[in-house]
Structure 1
Amino acid sequence: MNVEPVTKVEKLFEWIDEMALAIQKHKDITYLEALAETGENLLDLEIKQSLPFEEKKKLEQQLKEEIPKEVQKEDVRKSFQLAVIKGMKEAVQPHHAMTPDAVALFIGYLAQKLTAQKDTLTVLDPAVGSANLLSAVLNQLSQTVVGYGVEVDETLLHIAYVLSELQEHHVDLFHQDSIEELAVPPVDVVVSDLPIGYYPKDDVAESFQLKAETNRSYVHYLMIEKTLQHVKDGGFLLLLIPNTMFEMDGNDRLQKYIKEHAFTLGLLQLPASMFTSEQFGKSIWMLQKKGEGVKQPNQALLAELPSFSRYEALLDMTKQIDKWLKDQGFAK
């Protein structure tokens, strides 16, 4: 028995998915490429592709009559997140992955708390992907915000564009390798689910302090160095890192580099239940770039987060984090 979608997110996803599948079939492109075109259709409220008459007529009627008129930004983001996850299952590129929704929202909560005393903000994701993490963060910030996203994959960048436009975020997107070139102004906050692995361009890595002494350099080390250069003095970095990062080759040089340029505010280990095995576990690394008036916290915030499904335990943890932020002078 078929169950009709009941929420705005489900209803919007159903149309997005049906539209993307139709475009994928008739244009012989990937689901993710079709999803980007679907976003353009939703943005302009018209179907631009050449589809069979009856199919196009049905989708146009749904677009005009069935898509909820008042869709919140988070509903749009979550609908597209579901579609992007579906598309990534067919994608073969190893970098096609998405930050879990609860984690993206938690990083947004941290960004909001750390920057509560600012009226305007600039936020950068140097590996923006489909902009799910960046969008989740921007949706939680109450200030006037300009976002920047950098992505080497053209299809994901196209999705990031339509997703940002649909949510009415002011986001400037760049089709670049953010390690080789990062054409953005200094920003207040960097958020990123760091890509993990080796960086293929040895000639580019050569100019970095955190390049490997032998063999290939780690892309995540280089991205940390690059983004630290693009954060304003006193600015913040909220990075999703593997728990094994501090055991990797060159960790001693990474730690030395961080001590020279930033303070570690905290390290929040994500629940083990989120990952298929312990070796894939991740943490949120909170950094603040050194600058005038910036002090090392009395005590770094080190914690293992409870399961995001355990509401009471998570509420208790956020209260502890709120108190720590107030004690350090971040939150109002």
Structure 2
Amino acid sequence: MDVQEATMTETIYNVLDQGAEIVKSEKDILYLEALSYMGEMMFNRHTDESLQGSEKLDKLLSGLPDKGVKTRENYRRAMQLAVLKGMREATQPHHAMTPDAVSLFIGYIANKVLSHDDKTKHVVMDPAVGVGNLMTAVLNQLEKEALFVGVEPDETLLKLAYANANLQTHDVELFHQDSVSSPLIKEVDLVVSDLPAGYYPNDAIAQQFVTKADDGHSFVHHLLIEQGVKHVKKGGFLIFLVPNTLFQSEQSKQLHTFIKQEAIIYSFMQLPSSMFKNQAVAKSILVLRKQSEGIVAPKQALLAELPSFSQEGSLADMMGRISTWFDDHLKRDH
């Protein structure tokens, strides 16, 4: 990011942050809630005149750069910085955001697999969209047109995803629901998600899944993988951020069984350990493909340990190898 880009991101962040602080103070709400409120005023370029600070807000809005393709990444980064500030103020266990470098890397893989699909417009889904940082990072990298469908049970996070998509002028549909218990849109072209890891509280609903636990609570990330595979089209890809221990847990047998029946593992890429202070929460990128006639499955999945994202040379070399590997294997279909 050059100096001009950084300055534009900083300008947008300052408007978001100062505006959110005014709204937070007047409405006596959390910063994250105020942020979604401010995001909507920024999108409309119009302040809520019932606020005492509306004149200050008007002045802030007047300094914003135009929305559009050229400023999408600036708006995304600015929103990301503001969300991170808000999460430090009132962290919920499920309030976490996909790191920027990881979002961009997943966007790169998403673009790669969709580039081999003949459709001119794709439908991409995230069953746990959160604040929409991964959603918009992927959309900003896709070379083809896409409609993004995001599902999120947390209302505060969903409102932030809505503001995020609007400020980046993206075509999205967002649903306030629990992806495990509610049916999702069928036959999507691609599923991408930073899966929440942990236990799903409703055992009665989990009982309907192949990946359910033999006893006790089931892993929510296993249930969401199963939901994703059910709702992607035949031959469609799924890109998930998952715990490193995904296939070594006490419930991994059920997950193995389900994947063997319904999908193909294309890749399991471990993120750099330096990204995680606590190695128990370290994550990997899992790439699956739903089974379909005519697919020539890789003889062996692409397994890799990714270098630190700060080592640009090593990372570029690894991305080149990943790109070649996917191109080679996707050309073999039919």
TM-score (norm 1): 0.94
- CA 1:16–1:68 in 2, change beyond 3 Å: closer, same or farther? same
Equivalent pair of 1:305/1:314 in contact (CA under 8 Å): yes
Equivalent residue, structure 2, for 1:179: 180
Equivalent residue, structure 2, for 1:114: 113
- Partner secondary structure for residue 26 of structure 1: helix
- CA 1:83–1:49 in 2, change beyond 3 Å: closer, same or farther? farther
Residue 50 of structure 1 aligns with an amino acid whose one-letter code is S
- Partner secondary structure for residue 93 of structure 1: coil
Equivalent pair of 1:298/1:328 in contact (CA under 8 Å): no
Report the alpha carbon displacement of residue 183 of structure 1 after superposing the two structures with TM.
3.3
1:193-238 deviation digits (Å, cap 9, x = unpaired): 1111111111111111111111111111111111110010000010
Structure 1, unpaired ranges of 5+: none
Report the alpha carbon displacement of residue 18 of structure 1 after superposing the two structures with TM.
0.3
Residue 194 of structure 1 aligns with an amino acid whose one-letter code is L
Report the alpha carbon displacement of residue 49 of structure 1 after superposing the two structures with TM.
5.3
Equivalent residue, structure 2, for 1:137: 138
CA–CA distance in structure 2, aligned partners of residues 25 and 171 of structure 1: 31
CA–CA distance in structure 2, aligned partners of residues 192 and 139 of structure 1: 16
- CA 1:195–1:330 in 2, change beyond 3 Å: closer, same or farther? farther
- CA 1:6–1:204 in 2, change beyond 3 Å: closer, same or farther? closer
Equivalent pair of 2:48/2:54 in contact (CA under 8 Å): no
Equivalent pair of 2:111/2:141 in contact (CA under 8 Å): yes
CA–CA distance in structure 2, aligned partners of residues 218 and 59 of structure 1: 44
Equivalent residue, structure 1, for 2:156: 155
Report the alpha carbon displacement of residue 6 of structure 1 after superposing the two structures with TM.
6.0
1:207-246 map, 5 Å: 207-246=208-247
1:217-270 deviation digits (Å, cap 9, x = unpaired): 111111111111001000001000111122211211211110111110011110
1:84 counterpart = 2:50: no
Equivalent residue, structure 2, for 1:58: 56
Equivalent residue, structure 1, for 2:74: 75
CA–CA distance in structure 1, aligned partners of residues 325 and 143 of structure 2: 21
TM-score (norm 2): 0.94
Report the alpha carbon displacement of residue 319 of structure 1 after superposing the two structures with TM.
1.1
Equivalent pair of 1:76/1:166 in contact (CA under 8 Å): yes
Equivalent pair of 1:130/1:156 in contact (CA under 8 Å): yes
CA–CA distance in structure 2, aligned partners of residues 227 and 146 of structure 1: 17
Report the alpha carbon displacement of residue 136 of structure 1 after superposing the two structures with TM.
0.5
Q: Identity over aligned residues, as a percent? A: 47
Residue 259 of structure 2 aligns with an amino acid whose one-letter code is I
Equivalent residue, structure 1, for 2:34: 34
Structure 2, unpaired ranges of 5+: none
* Deviates most, 87-96 or 256-265: 87-96
Equivalent residue, structure 2, for 1:267: 268
CA–CA distance in structure 2, aligned partners of residues 49 and 282 of structure 1: 45
Equivalent pair of 2:116/2:330 in contact (CA under 8 Å): no
